Structure 1
Amino acid sequence: MGDIFTPGNIIVCLVVAVGLIVGVRRAVAGLVRGQSCCTDGEKRGHTRTRTPVVSDTDESHYPYAIDLPIGGMSCEGCAANVAAALNGIEGTWATVDLDERTAHVRSKRPIDEAACEAAVRAAGYYVVKL
């Protein structure tokens, strides 16, 4: 059998070890600083959206409703970004369930799914086509 401690194997092991060390250090540093995966969201194409205030949260005032499956979310910050983007559509009240990866959209008028999809896309996420 050949010797496993060849110069090529040693170099590969060193490269892998350095990669692991760098990755672990970045993960620990992010946790220590309290960063979520979206702290640097703008670099990943996610846009932080100012959260519009939805003053009317009486469900009976919203006769139209749809659920949109959302892709690209990985934390509560992502869910808040998607909700804010959808709440920016006039007459719309949206909540997002991160566990289900679903936006619950309610509207006072018929829902324009294309406008909802555009708002989600503008925030850096996407509506999953089923």
Structure 2
Amino acid sequence: MVVDVIIIVAVLIGMFFGLRRAVGTATGRRDCCSGDAKPSGKKFRATRIEDTDEAHYPYATDLTVAGMSCQNCARNVENALDSIEGTWARVDLDTRTAHVLSKQPVDLDAYREVVSESGYRVIS
């Protein structure tokens, strides 16, 4: 009987921590991969890029982004950069690089700011 109680308590504790992580990840307060708390984790909505003709984007830059560990992380960075008017970003998780196309001159400070707001860091 004592063994049964110990097993039930252990299962309940495991369920509590699992649920806590799932809720934290779903709300953006926790990292999607490690479950660690994120100091800043604003989730940007996916922006549908209407103009996908690269010729219409005369300015471009590549940013190296730290902190991405999965495709969800890459999507969050992409959505953050796409939230800037006149930009179109594509993120390559393997190289940790965001290729940003822009209709206006490149604004590195704005790019760094939105990437930081999404919980990641531009390192170059």
Which TM-score applies when normalising by structure 1?
Answer: 0.68
User: 2:89: which partner in 1?
Assistant: 94
Query: For 1:76 and 1:88, how far apart are their aligned partners in 2?
Result: 18
Q: Which whole-Å deviations, capped at 9, do the CAs of 1:38-89 have from their partners, x for residues lacking one?
A: 5574233233211111111110000100000000101000000000000000
C-alpha RMSD over aligned residues: 2.4
User: 1:103: which partner in 2?
Assistant: 98
Out of 43, 67, 71, the position equivalent to 1:72 is 67
Out of 70, 79, 91, the position equivalent to 1:84 is 79
Moved over 6 A (4+): none
Total equivalences in the alignment: 100
Does residue 124 of the first structure (1) align with residue 119 of the second (2)?
A: yes
Once the two structures are aligned, what percentage of the paired residues are identical?
48
User: 1:53: which partner in 2?
Assistant: 48
Q: Which whole-Å deviations, capped at 9, do the CAs of 1:5-38 have from their partners, x for residues lacking one?
A: xxxxxxxxxxxxxxxxxxxx89xx79xxxx7xx5
Unaligned runs of 5+ in 1: 1-24
Whether the 8 Å CA contact 1:92–1:106 is kept in 2: the answer is: yes
Cα offset for 1:118?
A: 0.2
Larger radius of gyration: 1
Which TM-score applies when normalising by structure 2?
Answer: 0.71
